Structure formats: C-alpha cells, structure tokens
Amino acid sequence: MRDVPAPAGHKHAECRHAKFSTAASKTDWCPAQPEPLSSGLDWVADSDADRAQAYERLAGAVHIRTETFEGMPTDAADPQFDQFYVFEAYLRATFPAVHAKIQLEHVNVHGLLYTWQGSNAALKPIVLMAHQDVVPVNPATESQWTHPPYSAHLDADGWVWGRGTTDMKSTLIGILSAAEKLVHEGFQPERTVLFSFGFDEEVEGERGGKALAAVILERYGPHGISLIIDEGFTGVSTAFGREFARVGLSEKGYITVEMAVAMPGGHSSKPPTHTAIGITGQLFAAMEASPGPVRLDESNPFFAYLECAAKYGDMDARLAERLRCPDCLPALGDELAADPDMAVFLRTTQAITVVNGGIKENALPETVTSLTNYRTVFFETTQVVLDRLVAAITPVAAANNLTLDAFGTHPDVQQNVIRLRTVGPVSEPAPTTPHVGPAFELVAGTLRHLFPESVVVPSAMTALTDTVWYHGSSAHIYRFTPAYFDYLIGFHTVNERIHIDAHLSTIRYFYKLMRNSVGWTTDGE
C-alpha cells in the first residue's frame, strides 16, 4: 500500500468538525494497540539448522504439482486429484511427530482435518486454515520463469522460487512446522486446535473447503469456533512512515458471469454492420463505463485502516482532517479510488477475464462467449452488481436489435440474443469481524510480539478464500499473512517467490499463537 498524498486543491474550510457525531470520536474506529502477547516458550527458528530445515520442508512441498484446473470433476476420488495422495504422503513423512500425536481424518477424500485435542473441552476450538492446491502454470509461460516453477530454487539472496510458495504452501508448511516443534516440546493445547486444509480453493473450494466447513459446523455447532485464521493479501508493510500489520476482518463477495452473444453465421465477404465479436466489444465498453460507486465510510474496514494511519502514522494533516469530516468522505473516496491499490477496497471490481469466439478467418462468428469476474465490495450485494450489469448493456442490446436474456428472462430465444448466466459459486461479502475483544487481542497481541515495531490495523481481503464456507462457525475470522508483504511476490503469475525470512516468520507466528492460546478465554467461556 502506497502513501496517500493530500489531494490537490484542498481547502481547510471544507471540513468542519462540528459535523461530527457527538456520540464517539472517529478515532474509535482505530483499535487501541494490545500489549505484545507472549505466553510460554519463544522459538526464534533462525539458526542455520532451523533455516535449512524450513527451506527443505517448503521446497519438498513446492516440488509436488498440486495444480487444480477449471472444469475438474466434482468427484474428489477422480484420478485427476491423485497428486494429493502424493502430497499427503509427503506431509506424513515430513512431520512424523504431528501425525503420531494429532488425529488426522479425511473429508471428501483429500480434505485434511487435523484435530489436536485440547485439555479443556469447555473451550471453543481454534481453526488454522490453508489449502493444498495451487493455480496451474501456463505451459506457454514456463520459459519466462527465472527458475523453473516447481524447482523451489533458493537463490543467494534468500528467495525461494516456485508456484505455491506464496499461495499458500508456506502457510500450510508453516502451521505443521510449528506443530511439529510444539509436539517435540511436549506442548498440550488447552483448547482444541484444528488444522483444516482444503484441496480445491483455487477452483472455488466446493469439494474441499465446503466439505470441511460442513463437518466442523456439524461437530461444533453454530459459532462453535473461537476464531479462524486463513490466508490474506495483507501482511506487514510500511505506509505513511510507519510499519503496519494489516489484518483482514472481512472479505469481498464473488461472482462470475458468462455472457454469450449468438448471431447468424455466414461468409466473411458479406458481413453485417457489427459481427458478434463487434457487438461483444460494445458490451465490454458499456460495462467498463459503468464500474459502480465508490464509498468510504465506517462500514468499510479500509476506513479503519486509514484512521489508524492518521492516528499512528505520518499522514498529511490535510488528509487526516478530511477523514474526520463526514461530508468530505464522498469526494475523498473518489480521489483515493484513482489509485488501483486503493480502489479494490472502495468499490466492486469487474474483470473481463476470458473471451472465446470465431473459428476461421473467413467465417462469421456464430457465438461469442466471455467470462467476467466480480469481487463485490462490502456495501453491495450480488443482486446490485447483476442489476448494474443489466442496466449497462441494455442500451447496447436495444441499439443492435438483440434480445437480452438476463439470467433466464428469455430462455427460448436462440438467435440474435445476448444471454447472461452466472457460473460457479456465488458468495456475498463476508460479515465483518469485530476489531475489539479477546479474539482480536490474541491475534493482534501475537503479531505485536513478533513484529514489535508494527501497529496492528484492520484491513480486508479482496480475493476469495475458503473462509467463505465458514461464516456459520465463527464470528471471528481473520485473513492475513504473518510476514513482511514485500517478501511475497508473484501471486498467481510468473516468478512467484517468497523470501525464506517470510516463511520463517510464518512458522514463528503459528508457534506463538498456539502457545498464547493457553490461558486465553473468549467472551462467554
């Protein structure tokens, strides 16, 4: 996250503090910093032997190509998932103490649910999550990698190269490495600790994450889990002259829409004014001209982050003043949204990701299909997003005398039609986890112990995680990476890599969190 400059042309008179609610100061949206929390032993995990072992464990996991692809079978027992047998065998061989001490059960074949039984059955369990699968490497891009994508090459500067290093085998191996150390130390958790590892998160998690969540919900009941931690596009980074550990308290919604334009084919020597591909281009232009509103207010976790930056960081005084002026927020939100890094927190994103149409240069395309992926912002719903899409493209359909079949309104029309349908799972934005109370204090206090220069601040996850299936199990779901975010590069793309120091800090975090959970109680326990 880059520092935010004060918008040009600002006038102090535009922000009148009298417009504040008298009920509470706006700085209340920035949580008080908990004391660093350290219970029991510390494990620095930074000796030469520790570093070598951490690398070898991570490298072995990266070598195994646990890729998942769109369109894979719904049956998890299909041979296309057999690489996960190999991966599980690797985990068993690499972490013998964990597998001797902690119960492992299989959920829908390849979902791995570890239950480390606590000494006090009255306490609600903790769930630590990761997924085993990785996005595929496009064969056409393999030559672009500095080091082969499954080599797990460790370079002289400490970078480990390979698919899955950042997303998210470092976390999975980090959790098990911490547990292996704790077992060797004779640690006994007070409350039960669950490790829940899905195997198809990269293809929406309906076989793995969904099945695991269902088992946990049935076993422990609604809100029967004290807290859940999963991946996030947030970690420890510097902004506004200060180091912040950003913890994702919510997650944007998810929906993918297929758009198909069907028109008569024919010879390219006698084309219509606009081919199906040309019409599709008009539709794309209309969609991108209607991106949806920006909102910056206290309902958005990003607002709390900015409040913390104003409170603890070196934020420009004019920007801080505008943050504390409710009437200034609409214009300020629009200005901040000009930065793509910030826009993802302030509006629903729309990404046209797949287009297919035409089969020969001298034949008119009969059908053109496309996929558009939406990540629904916290203040909108799926229906609002779909309604905006329909409104944007209706004039294009009318201008070209085409029927718009919007999600089943005209299913019988087969020609000269624009057809919309959703594909894959649909999720609404996640409920926002409170940034006060015992659960946040455990998570944040552990971060403060390991990153003593950091201010722990609310943030949000802008991508989909397997926590989408767990909303019924806990009101306290956190999404973040316990590492310096500059040490994780190349999510889902060429030259994905993680610095070994980021992997080590991940191990240390989960080790310390489990130790800190002893003696920790939540409200109502």
- What pLDDT does 247 receive? 95
Here the tokens at position 197 are 């590892």
Q: How far is CA 109 from CA 72, 217, 327, 335, in A?
A: 15, 18, 54, 49
Is residue 75 a part of any domain in this protein? no
Catalytic site includes residue 297: no
State whether 208 and 274 are in the same domain: no
Is 327 part of a structural domain of the chain?
Answer: no
Q: Are residues 113 and 177 in the same domain?
A: yes
Residues (pLDDT < 50) of the chain are 1-27
Q: Which domain holds residue 507?
A: 48-69+80-233+463-516
Give me the CATH number covering residue 499. 3.40.630.10
In this structure, the answer to whether residues 410 and 283 fall within a common structural domain is yes
Q: Are residues 469 and 368 in the same domain?
A: no
Query: Secondary structure of 222-251 in the HEC alphabet?
Result: CCCCCEEEECCCCCEEEECCEEEEEEEEEE
225: amino acid identity, one letter: I
Q: Which of 409, 428, 447 is the last residue of a domain?
A: 428
Known binding positions: 131, 167, 202, 230, 492
**Do 90 and 178 share a domain, yes or no?**
yes
Q: In the chain, how many domains are there? A: 2
Environment class of residue 161 by beta-carbon count within 10 Å: exposed (0-12), middle (13-18) or buried (19+)?
Answer: buried
Neighbours of 66 (CB within 10 A): 23
Query: Is 411 in the same domain as 512?
Result: no
Among the listed residues 67, 88, 180, 201, the single catalytic one is 201
319 located within any domain: no
**Are 87 and 204 contained in the same domain?**
yes
Q: Is 84 helix (H, G, I), strand (E, B) or coil?
A: helix
Quick one: 169 and 259 in the same domain?
no
Q: Which pLDDT score is estimated for 26?
A: 43
The Cα 14–Cα 280 span in angstroms is 44
Last residue of a domain, one of 428, 451, 484: 428
Q: Is residue 447 part of a domain?
A: no
- Looking at the fold, whether 191 and 280 belong to one and the same domain comes out as no
**Residue 507 phi, psi dihedral angles, 5° rounding:** -60, -50
Query: Within 13 Å and on the Cβ side, how many CA atoms surround 214?
Result: 10
- Domain assignment present for residue 314? The answer is no
* Token code pair at residue 390: 């329909």
Are 414 and 499 in a shared domain?
Answer: no
- The model's pTM is 0.90
| Same-domain check for residues 356 and 223 | no
Any domain includes 423: yes
Is the bond preceding residue 168 a cis peptide, omega within 30 degrees?
A: yes
Please write the tens of the pLDDT for every residue from 442-472. 999 999 999 999 999 999 999 889 999 999 9
* pLDDT value for 28: 61
For residues 369 and 258, membership in a common domain is answered with yes
**For position 399, which CATH number holds?**
3.30.70.360
Distance CA 395, CA 283 (A): 9
7 occurs within a structural domain: no
Q: Is 201 a catalytic residue?
A: yes
Q: How far is CA 201 from CA 65, 152, 323, 400, 416, in A?
A: 15, 22, 37, 40, 37
Instruction: Please pick, among 88, 133, 180, 204, the residue that the annotation labels catalytic.
Output: 133
- Last residue within a domain, chosen from 371, 406, 428: 428
Specify if 4 maps to a domain: no
